């Protein structure tokens, strides 16, 4: 018997790991496209671990935040690597959130019986993006403070609850209250909410298992692979792959602090990349003060899409309207983000933004329905006529 098998057998006999009631995985799930959720879990673990290390040295406050961050990056052994990788991992986590969302949306993962899992996933995505935003302020650089002020302005635009939400999140407007609120949200409150939602998400995942590819019926001819040790080893491999990639990139491209808040050096107040598209839409006149209605409508649509899409098929060709809406928002996200970085804060007249916004939507609807009717026609022509 191999020594590895002997060790595993000994550990399992004491810890009873194999008795943990976790479902096995179907063979088709051993594919990286099915593991975007695992990447998110690995990123969260890394962020918690590195965040705890950073808290040993970080000192919040108007006169201490920047200095303590600089101390971490210049004096603490491997501090720059840990700080840089913490921020890059946050970027990676948010990027994978978008990938995970669009992947599941296109594959119709929100359909029965996974409606509640989808809703929890949308809430988790909002929490992850909010965690990134609250952490951006903490180094207290000029650009992070300006970007946070932009976020405060955007929050106040939210219909009815905007001013109250801004007050709860950012305090009474003093720097001390901003630090206390944002640090508490970033380190304690939001991670706790995310952990609870993740637990509910995993519970539902265990109940309904991983969704099969479109066109494959649930539990149809699958072979279950035990979670221990295959599933566990695969999870570990995914985690190490992500951690290694981020650490290597952090070593090659270490971060450098910009000027501290209050510096005379001018900076462009632009949001982080994952909020840049939203900030660009704020520049669209005359809808800038009502842009939060668009965001709120999008969130409500995403939460309700399991109940709006009544087609039982998960194939993209059978869901032209919802595929067109998803593709439109993906294109908006890419174009508006690039637009904001190229022309930050520049007011955009309706004669420019309206043809772009409605043109993209119209083209995507047209293409989606052309493919829908084309495949529908092909399907009918392939039907065998009755004898």
User: What sign for the dihedral angle of Cα 121, 124, 129, 130?
Assistant: positive
DSSP string, 115-126: HHHHHHHHHHHH
Lowest mean pLDDT among 16-20, 185-189, 251-255, 356-360: 16-20
pLDDT reported for residue 387: 46
Instruction: Spell out the domain ranges in the chain.
Output: 22-269, 270-387
Which tens digit of pLDDT belongs to each residue from 130-141? 999 899 899 999
Burial (Cβ within 10 Å: 0-12, 13-18, ≥19) of residue 42: buried
Tell me the pTM: 0.88
Confidence (pLDDT) at 215: 66
- Whole-angstrom distance, CA of residue 132 vs CA of residue 203: 26
CATH top-level class for 22-269? mainly alpha
Q: What pLDDT sits at residue 16?
A: 66
pLDDT digits (tens, 9 = 90+) for 40-63: 999 999 999 999 999 999 999 988
Neighbouring CB atoms inside 10 A of 306's CB total 19
Question: Over the stretch 272-319, which tens digit does the pLDDT of each residue have?
Answer: 889 889 889 888 988 776 777 888 889 999 999 999 998 888 889 999
Give tens-digit pLDDT for 313-337.
Answer: 888 999 999 999 999 999 999 999 9
CA-to-CA dists, residue 64 to 58, 69, 124, 176, angstroms: 8, 8, 32, 11
The radius of gyration computed from the CA coordinates of the chain, to the nearest angstrom, equals: 24
């Amino acid at each position: 018997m191999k020594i590895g098998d002997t060790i595993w057998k000994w550990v399992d006999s004491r810890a009873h790991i194999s008795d943990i009631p976790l479902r096995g995985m179907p063979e088709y799930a051993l594919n990286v496209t099915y593991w975007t959720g695992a990447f998110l879990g690995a990123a969260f673990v890394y962020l918690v671990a590195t965040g705890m290390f950073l808290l040993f040295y970080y000192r919040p406050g108007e006169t201490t935040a920047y200095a303590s961050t600089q101390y971490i990056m210049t004096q603490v052994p491997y501090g720059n690597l840990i700080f840089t990788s913490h921020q890059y991992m946050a970027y990676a986590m948010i990027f994978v959130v978008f990938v995970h969302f669009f992947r599941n949306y296109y594959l119709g993962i929100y359909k029965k019986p996974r409606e509640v899992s989808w809703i929890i996933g949308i809430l988790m995505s909002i929490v992850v993006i909010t965690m990134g935003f609250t952490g951006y302020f903490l180094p207290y650089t000029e650009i992070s403070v300006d970007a946070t002020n932009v976020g405060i302005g955007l929050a106040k635009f939210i219909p009815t609850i905007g001013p109250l939400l801004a007050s709860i999140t950012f305090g009474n407007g003093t720097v001390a209250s901003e630090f206390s609120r944002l640090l508490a949200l970033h380190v304690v409150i939001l991670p706790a909410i995310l952990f609870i939602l993740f637990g509910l998400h995993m519970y539902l995942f265990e109940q309904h298992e991983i969704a099969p590819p479109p066109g494959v019926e649930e539990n149809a001819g699958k072979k279950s692979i035990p979670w221990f040790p295959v599933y566990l080893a695969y999870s570990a491999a995914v985690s190490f792959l992500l951690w290694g990639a981020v650490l290597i990139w952090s070593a090659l491209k270490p971060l450098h602090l910009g000027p501290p808040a209050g510096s005379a050096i001018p900076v462009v107040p632009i949001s982080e990349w994952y909020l840049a598209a939203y900030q660009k839409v704020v520049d669209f006149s005359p809808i800038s003060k009502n842009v939060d209605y668009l965001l709120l409508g999008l969130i409500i649509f995403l939460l309700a899409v399991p109940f709006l899409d009544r087609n039982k098929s998960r194939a993209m060709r059978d869901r032209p309207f919802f595929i067109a809406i998803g593709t439109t928002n993906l294109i908006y996200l890419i174009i508006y983000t690039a637009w904001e970085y190229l022309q930050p804060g520049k007011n955009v007249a309706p004669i420019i933004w309206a043809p772009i916004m409605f043109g993209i939507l119209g083209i995507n609807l047209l293409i989606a329905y052309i493919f829908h009717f084309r495949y529908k026609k092909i399907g009918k022509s392939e039907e065998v006529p009755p004898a």
